[in-house]
Amino acid sequence: MTPMWVAAAGDTLAIAGSDGVLLWRRREGGIAAKIDGPGDALRCAFAADGRLVVGWRSGRVSIHRGADLDAEIDTGHPAMPGLALAADRFATGGSDGKTRVWSLATLDKILEVGDPTHATSAVAWSRARLVVGRSTGYFLAYDEQQTVIAEGGVFNGAAVYSIGVHPAGIGVVFGGEKGFMVAVSSDVEWRSLETIKEPRRPIAVNSIAFSPDGARFVAACSDDTAKLYEWKNRRLAATLGSEFWVRTPRPEWNPSFIVSSACFDPSADVIYTTHHDGTLRAWHPSEFRPLVAVELDGDGAATRWRDAMAAYLG
């Protein structure tokens, strides 16, 4: 399996990837269940009621209780790189340039916005406001009346590849397809706060996730690292891993350097990252060291994970 996204809730990590979705035991390690679907699973997220929402490359969305299918819809997107959950709804964004919002309860379509000439490359929610990233490097923010309340260009000629939202709704961080991040204030008026010149190469920022308290955010990059920042001053606090270009001898870039996603554990002080080489890693967020790294389908993975997490979490 090539993992593409990780989400955490309760005692479960949901890992979306090229072979469906794995439900991984957060403390005990090992695969609790597997969800098969129509091709690659690109995104997943847990709803407040514990259900898992999965976005598939094909444009389908499936909703699960554990591994059991609860409901599914065809969003109409020919390809769907964007999925984001709010309290009672979810948004999907597709290569057709459309962003659609759906009710979690009924799966009815609530609204549709977009421009078919520019693909939607990322979506997010900042409180009740829908934030859309475009393949052109622009973003738009909509209120509940579908009115555009903010828009602007954050990247020159490169797609908005990822969007991280402060849990209090006071800021948004956009990650670029070809490097760099842009932090934007979103509490009262939308204004640029800072351009973060990381990664220092034309390397994609694949995901951005905030800690539950909003004090930090972590960016998963295609240079074999995840980068941890302080939100208050956007200062780089630590690099988890090492950029491939600083190694001696310097290797040529290859897909194994893709860190596809990162997230914070909601109930324990841990950062999780998924890697294109098929590994899942847990990191100490203050000592900035790996706690454990396992191949998801490797022999002994569950035992190594359980022993490492028991030693750290007690």
Residue 112: CATH number of its domain: 2.130.10.10
Query: CA-based angle 103:174:118, to the nearest 5?
Result: 70
How many domains does the chain contain in total?
Answer: 1
- What's the pLDDT at 74? 97
At 98 the pLDDT is 97
Give pLDDT, residue 162: 97
Give the pLDDT confidence score for residue 188 in this predicted structure. 78
What would the pLDDT profile of 86-138 be if each residue is shown by its tens digit? 999 999 999 999 999 999 999 999 999 998 999 999 999 999 999 999 999 99
pLDDT in tens, 55-75: 999 999 999 999 999 999 999
In what side-by-side order are the strands of the sheet with 12-17? 3-9, 12-17, 20-25, 31-35
Stretches in the chain below the pLDDT threshold 50: none
Cα distance between residue 135 and residue 176, in whole Å: 10
Two structure tokens written together for 122: 């990322």
- Per-residue pLDDT, 268: 81
Return the pLDDT at 297: 86
Burial class (CB in 10 A: 0-12, 13-18, 19+), 44: buried
Give me the domain span that covers residue 207: 3-313
pLDDT for residue 17: 97
The dihedral through the CA atoms of 239, 242, 247, 253 has a sign that is: negative
